[in-house]
Amino acid sequence: MTGFVDVHDMARWVRSRGIGPVLRGLMDAIEADFQRWQGFERTPRIASHTPFGVIELMPTSDGETYGFKYVNGHPSNPARGFQTVTAFGVLADVHNGYPTFLAEMTLLTALRTAATSAMVAGHLARPDSTTMAMIGTGSQAEFQAMAFRERLGIRSLRVWDTDPDAIAKFARNLLPRGFELHVAASGADAAEGADIITTCTADKAQARVLESVDVAPGTHVNAIGGDCPGKTELDPEILIRGRVFVEHEPQTRIEGELQQMPEDFVPVEFWRVLAGDTSGRSAADEVTVFDSVGFAIEDFSALRYLRDDVTGTDFAQRIDLVAEPDDPKDLFGFIGAYSPVV
């Protein structure tokens, strides 16, 4: 039988464990896997693009466990009452190829994306950071805020979105949790005085939601909304001024802010910072940029963390996904012999 965590159980699990502890657990799991980055299979995701959006498969393996995520990205979905991003993921045993664990990942992706951003910022942002600007307050925004508070103690937020309802939703969710909120009048206004700037907008276009002139020296830019071909958020000048860190360069070149840069523009793969191959931030006035598009290893880490935490608890069901005839060569007899339990 295959373990299964559905949406209802995922929400129960997060509420029961607490979103803070879950985010911390995910940060530790993701950081540990970034530390052994070179031990993973790393392939750019396999994308199916249409005018509506994109559907992607993101596989990876560490040689013992295989994992993949199914995820879509449909920018016009919210206007039609659907999620922009939905996802589910699977783990399998490499030794026999059997899928062992299936989980919803719409919620889990929101959590792992925020955990990755905050873990990376923990190494790149100035340690005395207190204020974060957030340009874009959609589905991902509260998760980012919670994760940055867990990792860097950020409590002061300067937020902006073109959709006032999205800002109202953000405030409704986070004010009760003790955040100090400044609703800005524009992206530039949000960025003013921020130590960290998170850009997370949904428009599938080459946009400029943040101009270089609005990025003060010493800022860490957490750019997560530019995550598919044709979709960027930053004034390219920011990338030239700053040191740019990415997950997996070949994928970021296709999907991230790197799309705007020439071939010979060389970013730093972030795992190298953890490996001690290169420094993170090198000066208090340096601009650092995390050009994040999300990578399969982060989903792998999140799925394993979830699986290890829920196995044997009532947060996981068991489903009958793999046929297991007594004689493995007798699949045909299995159909006939299978007794309906009804």
3-state secondary structure the chain: CEEEECHHHHHHHHHHHCHHHHHHHHHHHHHHHHHCHHHCCCCCCEEEECCCCEEEEEEEECCCEEEEEEEEECCCCHHHCCCCCCEEEEEEECCCCCEEEEEECHHHHHHHHHHHHHHHHHHHCCCCCCEEEEECCCCCHHHHHHHHHHHHCCCEEEEECCCHHHHHHHHHHHHHHCCEEEECCCHHHHHCCCCEEEECCCCCCEEEEECHHHCCCCCEEEECCCCECCEEEECHHHHHHCEEEECCHHHHHHHCHHHHCCCCCCCEECHHHHCCCCCCCCCCCCCEEEECCCCHHHHHHHHHHHHHHHCCCCCCEEECCCCCCCCCCCHHHHHHHCCCCC
Q: Does 11 bind a second copy (CB under 8 A)?
A: yes
Residue 53 or 226 having the CB closest to a second copy: 53
Residue 111 or 239 having the CB closest to a second copy: 111
Q: Does 31 bind a second copy (CB under 8 A)?
A: no
Residue 2 or 259 having the CB closest to a second copy: 2
Indicate the angle between helix axes 19-35 and 296-310, nearest 10 degrees. 130
Smallest gap from residue 267 Cβ to a second copy (A): 25
Positions in 63-82 near a second copy (CB under 8 A) = 63, 66, 68, 70, 72-74, 77-78, 80-82
Positions in 301-320 near a second copy (CB under 8 A) = 319-320
Chosen residue from 135, 166, 194, 224 binding a second copy by CB under 8 A: 166
Positions in 171-210 near a second copy (CB under 8 A) = 172-173
Total site size for a second copy, rule CB under 8 A: 82
Q: Does 217 bind a second copy (CB under 8 A)?
A: no
Only one of the segments 26-34, 87-95, 119-127, 152-160 lies at the binding site for a second copy (rule: CB under 8 A); that segment is 87-95
Q: What six digits make up the tokens of 112? A: 């792992």
Residue 32 or 335 having the CB closest to a second copy: 335
Q: How many CB atoms lie within 10 A of CB 313?
A: 11
Smallest gap from residue 104 Cβ to a second copy (A): 6
Q: Does 332 bind a second copy (CB under 8 A)?
A: yes
Q: Does 156 bind a second copy (CB under 8 A)?
A: no
Q: Does 135 bind a second copy (CB under 8 A)?
A: no
Spot the catalytic one: 227, 235, 291, 299: 227
Q: Does 272 bind a second copy (CB under 8 A)?
A: no
Positions in 40-59 near a second copy (CB under 8 A) = 41, 43, 46, 48, 50, 52-55, 57, 59
Positions in 227-256 near a second copy (CB under 8 A) = none
Smallest gap from residue 338 Cβ to a second copy (A): 4
Q: Does 104 bind a second copy (CB under 8 A)?
A: yes
Please indicate whether residue 227 is annotated as part of the active site: yes
Q: How many CB atoms lie within 10 A of CB 109?
A: 24
Enumerate the active-site residues.
227
